[in-house]
Structure 1
């Protein structure tokens, strides 16, 4: 079931929460609405569900305009961040609630409801919990029950609002894998809201980056990460190191620090964005760059070592991050307070207020 959003605007009093949103959500895909608090992502999700009404614009499900339909007539499943389970009902009764609340003509028989609940409990791998109450469940179990309840009425579309936000990191990661596996098996159209960049990039087929009620960029996770079109998208998709300064005689300079640009530019000022894996460490400056740092912190977590760097005498406001391999860490053994220099591998140059980035490669040429 595809979703088409055409020119949607939403106001709360004098405040405009959404500005002319145009968006296509393909059938059978898992789409993330990603953005900071106040970007409008939850408001858009609630308008899709029918829980909020847009002042202007249309919502279409598979070409059918549902803008005027009540939430109960849209056949949409909704999963909230804080589960919203009924405390006085058992797990089985919570899952069955939506089916038992249907009008008499649409309500399945008691036998069909029981079979549906049993099937859903098997699907979420919690059949042993049918007679427990929500207070007896962990956070991860509650969220699975909430998802099963949303799926019980066979919705055309599944909407999830920060579904893993209340869970700890390990449970959140496990549930992300489980939801992705479930989605791949049943191919329902899903839209979920998140402010977690890793969650959006890992879980979704399509990411919609939002800011201040507008869509900044839409794309597949790998394409979006590789080719952000704006400073905001760069800043929001993980940590990025920024050198901002004047362009003179082929160099971008900020105080005493500088990087030689491998291509000519007419801009007088520019910003160079470098992700942690696009920077390497050296003991001395080179003809490519003079970026002196002092090591602020070293974190040996995950597949690579993260080294946090404080600019030495040229920018007191930023902390840079560089990712190095464990082999390089064992060779260099960087410690807090050590002096080092950063050298660019690949960078992304913004020159001008509206221009998109130009990718620079210090091993090759700008493109």
Structure 2
């Protein structure tokens, strides 16, 4: 079942929670509503569910206007961040609650309800805990029960409000995989709210980035990460290194730092955005970049080494500015970068914003005819 959000507005007193939001949620897809606190994502989810009313606009399910339809008549499964399990009910009773609460004409026979509960207990791998109470479960187990309860009535739409926010990192990662598998098996139209960028990019088919009650950008995870459409999306989707300065005759400069910008016709104030994996490190400046940085920390994390650096001699950078560059373990073993060492950033791909445009211009030094492709360089000359 597809979902159409049409010009939804919502105010809480003087606060504009949603500002003329329009959105299409494809049938059978898993969509993430991603944004910082106060962006309006949970309010939008609750309006779709019917738990909150909008001031204006429409919600349609597969073309049918359900704006005025009560939550119980929307055939939606809803999962809350803090589980919202009934403490006085066992695991089995919690899962059966939605079925037991159906009107008499729609309620399955008791035997059928019990069969469905048993099937769901097997699916969430908790049949041995069916008679326990929520207080006797771990956080991950509680969330599995909450998910089982939400899908017990076989809803066509599954809505989840930060479903993994209260869990530790390892359990959260395991449950993300389980939810993705569950979605692929049942083909729900699913929407989940999160402020975790990694979670949204890893789990969803489509990401909706929200800010201050507005939709900033909608796209598939890979496209969204590769081509952010605004400064906000860039800043919000993970670590980014920024060089702000004056762009004149194809060179962006700030203090003693500069980088050539091949092909750009912009002049004046500009900002160059560089993700950690789009930057290499050299022991000396290159022909197309002079970006000196002093190493602050080196962290061996997982499959890569994260190097944190502070700009050296850049006039407009604050003392709190830190750049991050990710290098491989083999590069680390070859170069052995250490705290206090001076290194130079060598950008490979960058995203240029000028003072007026909201859309960035992608700069690819690696494919530029005038700039040879650079990897980690052990230059000996300055």
With normalisation by structure 1, the TM-score equals: 0.98
Separation in structure 1 between the aligned mates of residue 266 and residue 340 of structure 2, nearest angstrom? 38
Number of matched pairs: 366
Contact 2:17 2:40 in 1 (8 A): yes
Separation in structure 1 between the aligned mates of residue 79 and residue 264 of structure 2, nearest angstrom? 51
Match of 1:310 in 2: 310
Contact 1:251 1:261 in 2 (8 A): yes
Match of 1:342 in 2: 345
Match of 1:330 in 2: 333
Match of 2:372 in 1: none
User: Deviation at 1:146?
Assistant: 0.2
Match of 1:229 in 2: 229
User: Deviation at 1:249?
Assistant: 3.3
Q: What is the root-mean-square deviation of aligned Cα atoms in Å?
A: 1.1
Match of 1:12 in 2: 12
Unaligned 5+ segments in structure 2 are 370-382
Q: Alignment partner for residue 361 of structure 1, among 361, 364, 369? A: 364
Q: For 1:284, what is the secondary structure of its paired residue?
A: coil
Moved more, 101-110 or 56-65: 101-110
Alignment of 1:253 onto 2:253 = yes
Contact 1:267 1:352 in 2 (8 A): no
Match of 2:22 in 1: 22
Q: For 2:175, what is the secondary structure of its paired residue?
A: helix
Separation in structure 1 between the aligned mates of residue 71 and residue 80 of structure 2, nearest angstrom? 15
Match of 1:37 in 2: 37
User: Deviation at 1:48?
Assistant: 0.2
Q: Deviations over 1:164-205 (max 9, x none)?
A: 000000000000001001111111110000000000000000
Contact 2:249 2:267 in 1 (8 A): no
Aligned residue runs from structure 1 range 39-118, under 5 A: 39-118=39-118
Separation in structure 1 between the aligned mates of residue 140 and residue 334 of structure 2, nearest angstrom? 41
Contact 2:39 2:211 in 1 (8 A): yes
Match of 2:266 in 1: 266
Match of 2:159 in 1: 159
Contact 1:208 1:219 in 2 (8 A): yes
Q: Deviations over 1:7-35 (max 9, x none)?
A: 11111112211011110001100000000
Match of 1:193 in 2: 193
Separation in structure 2 between the aligned mates of residue 334 and residue 325 of structure 1, nearest angstrom? 12
Match of 1:138 in 2: 138
Q: Deviations over 1:261-294 (max 9, x none)?
A: 1123232110000000000000011221111111
Separation in structure 2 between the aligned mates of residue 353 and residue 212 of structure 1, nearest angstrom? 21
User: Deviation at 1:98?
Assistant: 1.1
Q: For 1:300, what is the secondary structure of its paired residue?
A: strand
Match of 1:3 in 2: 3
Match of 1:277 in 2: 277
Separation in structure 2 between the aligned mates of residue 259 and residue 18 of structure 1, nearest angstrom? 40
Separation in structure 2 between the aligned mates of residue 186 and residue 14 of structure 1, nearest angstrom? 41
Moved more, 170-179 or 9-18: 9-18
Separation in structure 2 between the aligned mates of residue 213 and residue 137 of structure 1, nearest angstrom? 36
With normalisation by structure 2, the TM-score equals: 0.94
Q: For 2:16, what is the secondary structure of its paired residue?
A: strand
Separation in structure 2 between the aligned mates of residue 147 and residue 264 of structure 1, nearest angstrom? 51
User: Deviation at 1:355?
Assistant: 3.6
Q: Deviations over 1:50-74 (max 9, x none)?
A: 0110111000011110000011111
Unaligned 5+ segments in structure 1 are none
Separation in structure 2 between the aligned mates of residue 143 and residue 29 of structure 1, nearest angstrom? 21
Alignment of 1:351 onto 2:354 = yes
Separation in structure 2 between the aligned mates of residue 65 and residue 299 of structure 1, nearest angstrom? 53
Separation in structure 2 between the aligned mates of residue 360 and residue 54 of structure 1, nearest angstrom? 42
Match of 1:214 in 2: 214
